[in-house]
């Protein structure tokens, strides 16, 4: 199995690059943001609870997203690997993910970290907000709150995986294709 975490702040291009990577490497895409938005669309109790939190730019509770990832792993027993996007976002989520993968006798091969400057992030998210229909992309204050959450709670995920020498930094500015090529160069080291 090949399991990769695509890491980086909101707006760093994880969703865009994930779509390309899963096709090239035959991975199952697991995005907690997408899973949460499906719950919101289906108006489940979990979705309603999550929406209020997401609309403030805060993180939903660890146990909620860990539960969603656990179910998704169980639902895909024959997958040849997973691409995690937007998860893990806290150290507790990282530890839980490692345990879940260990149960499947596998592990994270690499954390590919997309690096993008803050002004560029805000610009991209506001631009995306014009068409995405995502309420958390339309207001600069909410976008800034998400970036604050990233620095406060999520950047530690890179520290966590650094202890195992699994983090690779990738420049996340440039054309979509240039960034994709840089990511593939890293992933190829685990497939060849």
| Active site positions, annotated | 14, 89, 128, 134, 146
> Environment class of residue 84 by beta-carbon count within 10 Å: exposed (0-12), middle (13-18) or buried (19+)?
buried
In DSSP terms, 168 is beta-bridged to: 112
Q: Which stretch binds ligand ADP (CB under 6 A): 82-90, 103-111, 112-120, 163-171?
A: 82-90
Nearer to ligand ADP, 78 or 148 (CB): 148
Distance from chain centroid for Cα 35 = 11
Does position 60 interact with ligand ADP (CB under 6 A)? The reply is yes
**Residue 87 in contact with residue 65, Cβ under 8 Å?**
yes
Does position 172 interact with ligand ADP (CB under 6 A)? The reply is no
Which one among 40, 46, 53, 184 touches ligand ADP, defined by CB under 6 A?
53
Distance (Å, whole) CA 133 – CA 130: 7
Sheet holding 28-31, edge to edge: 28-31, 81-85, 2-7, 110-115, 167-171
Does position 129 interact with ligand ADP (CB under 6 A)? The reply is no
* Closest residue by Cα to residue 10 from 58, 68, 65, 75: 58
Question: By rule CB under 6 A, what string of x and - marks binding of each residue 13-52 to ligand ADP?
Answer: -------------------xx--x----------------
Which one among 10, 13, 81, 172 touches ligand ADP, defined by CB under 6 A?
10
Question: Would you tell me which residues interact with ligand ADP (CB under 6 A)?
Answer: 10-11, 32-33, 36, 53-54, 57-60, 65, 86-87, 89, 93, 136, 146
């Amino acid at each position: 199995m090949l399991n990769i975490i695509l890491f980086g702040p909101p707006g760093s291009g994880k969703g865009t690059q994930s779509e390309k990577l899963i096709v090239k490497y035959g991975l199952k895409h697991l995005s907690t943001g997408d899973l949460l938005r499906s719950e919101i669309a289906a108006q489940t109790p979990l979705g309603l609870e999550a929406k209020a939190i997401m609309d403030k730019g805060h993180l939903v509770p660890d146990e909620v997203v860990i539960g969603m990832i656990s179910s998704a792993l169980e639902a895909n027993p024959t997958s040849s690997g997973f691409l995690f996007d937007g998860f893990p976002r806290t150290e507790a989520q990282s530890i839980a993910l490692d345990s879940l993968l260990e149960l499947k006798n596998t592990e994270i091969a690499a954390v590919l970290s997309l690096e993008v400057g803050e002004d560029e992030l805000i610009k991209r998210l506001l631009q995306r907000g014009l068409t995405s229909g995502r309420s958390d992309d339309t207001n600069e204050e909410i976008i800034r709150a998400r970036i604050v959450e990233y620095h406060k709670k999520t950047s530690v995920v890179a520290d966590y995986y650094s202890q195992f020498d699994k983090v690779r930094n990738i420049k996340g500015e440039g054309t979509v294709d240039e960034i994709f090529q840089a990511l593939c160069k890293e992933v190829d080291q685990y497939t060849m």
